[in-house]
């Protein structure tokens, strides 16, 4: 039978130092609860009912505890919200006049809907001649706002100018002619290079909704590229202007004040969500070590793909801020070549 040695030194305030043959440990507690760090590197928690002899104890390795803390680490250190703001002020007098005309058409359309709703209510509730008048009036104002009052932006191009604009328009169409276009409202800086396939940033993306028709209050004699970011936001690229529509509010920007930055970027995805026309660069893991091997601390650590996407940022100092990811990056260089300098 071997010798055992144990000594406990009370420091006050519930603290103790425990000395044994295994080494030095310490503990802290109050009547009914005590937490102990043992000499062999374990953490023991003991809960008891004083005076009954009943107690319950749990014990785990300090290294396991540290590992749990690492697994619960916050995934992001910084988030960038990419959001355009509705523009209210225009220094250019031509833009002021243009927006005044557009707002007038929008007001007429809204007024027709309000009058129409009142007329419908009067038709149901009241039995007076005015109900028919209100219905007819709302219908006439609606037709006027949609077919007579819209702002017509006509462009008188020479053959050379039209060829240049047609190249610009077709480049936009070709850039967006891919399996999937993502609108990105947020980017997140990852807290660890071992997460999210080793990506430095993670994006929150939504699928863009195609090319919408021009809003009812605008007309033009040239083809216009458009993109719907979501159900509430869309952008329209005219020969000399950019229009941004958000919640039925329209903002306008001179083409010269808008910057278009396009390049290629590597993105991490999985096989299930891989667009058909994406270029796969390499394979990785969702939780990855510095040497590229999977992090075995995580269960169900799945294999991921690193793909090359096209990236487009549209920005203006006056509030425009839009970010697209395009699944096919092959047309990026051609689009760069026709960007206005």
Q: pLDDT of 34-46, one tens digit each?
A: 777 776 667 777 7
Query: Per-residue confidence at 205, pLDDT binned at 50, 70, 90?
Result: confident
Q: Is the pLDDT of residue 223 over 60?
A: yes
Tokens representing 212 are: 């919408």
pLDDT digits (tens, 9 = 90+) for 90-137: 888 999 999 999 999 999 999 988 888 877 777 677 666 666 777 788
Which of residues 77 and 218 earns the better pLDDT score? Answer: 218
With CA atoms as reference, report the closest residue to 314 among 323, 326, 302, 305.
323
Q: Is the pLDDT of residue 71 over 50?
A: no
Query: Per-residue confidence at 79, pLDDT binned at 50, 70, 90?
Result: confident
pLDDT digits (tens, 9 = 90+) for 277-308: 999 999 998 888 888 888 888 888 888 999 99
Distance of alpha carbon 25 from alpha carbon 40, whole angstroms: 8
Which of residues 180 and 72 earns the better pLDDT score? Answer: 180
Q: Is the pLDDT of residue 67 over 80?
A: no
pLDDT digits (tens, 9 = 90+) for 127-174: 666 667 777 888 898 899 999 999 999 999 999 999 999 999 999 999
User: Are the C-beta atoms of 205 and 184 separated by less than 8 Å?
Assistant: yes
Mean confidence (pLDDT) of the chain: 83
Let me know if 113 is exposed, middle or buried by CB neighbors in 10 A (0-12, 13-18, 19+): middle
User: Are the C-beta atoms of 277 and 338 separated by less than 8 Å?
Assistant: no
């Amino acid at each position: 039978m071997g010798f055992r040695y144990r000594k406990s030194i009370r420091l006050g305030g519930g603290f103790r130092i425990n000395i044994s043959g295994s080494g030095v440990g310490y503990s802290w507690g109050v009547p009914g609860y005590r937490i102990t760090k043992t000499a062999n590197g374990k953490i023991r928690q003991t809960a008891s009912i004083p005076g009954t002899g009943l107690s319950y104890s749990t014990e785990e390795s300090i290294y396991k505890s540290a590992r749990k803390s690492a697994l619960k680490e916050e995934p992001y250190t910084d988030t960038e919200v990419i959001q355009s703001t509705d523009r209210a002020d225009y220094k250019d007098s031509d833009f002021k006049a243009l927006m005044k005309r557009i707002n007038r058409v929008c007001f007429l359309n809204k007024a027709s809907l309000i009058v129409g709703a009142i007329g419908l209510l009067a038709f149901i509730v009241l039995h007076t001649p005015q109900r028919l008048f209100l219905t007819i009036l709302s219908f006439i104002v609606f037709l006027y706002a949609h077919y007579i009052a819209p702002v017509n932006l006509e462009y008188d191009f020479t053959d050379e100018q039209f060829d240049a604009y047609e190249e610009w328009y077709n480049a936009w169409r070709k850039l967006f002619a891919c399996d999937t276009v993502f609108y990105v409202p947020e980017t997140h800086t990852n807290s660890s290079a071992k997460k999210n396939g080793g990506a430095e940033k993670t994006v929150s993306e939504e699928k863009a909704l195609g090319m919408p028709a021009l809003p009812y209050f605008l007309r033009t004699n040239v083809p216009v590229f458009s993109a719907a970011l979501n159900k509430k936001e869309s952008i329209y690229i005219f020969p000399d202007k950019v229009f941004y529509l958000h919640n039925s509010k329209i903002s306008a920007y001179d083409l010269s004040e808008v910057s278009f930055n396009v390049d290629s970027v590597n993105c991490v995805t999985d096989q299930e969500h891989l667009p058909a026309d994406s270029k796969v660069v390499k394979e990785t893991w969702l939780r990855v070590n510095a040497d590229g091997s999977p992090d075995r601390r995580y269960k169900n650590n799945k294999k991921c793909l690193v793909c090359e996407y096209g990236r487009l940022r549209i920005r203006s100092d006056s509030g425009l801020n839009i970010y697209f990811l395009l699944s096919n990056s092959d047309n990026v260089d051609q689009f760069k070549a026709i960007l206005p300098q």
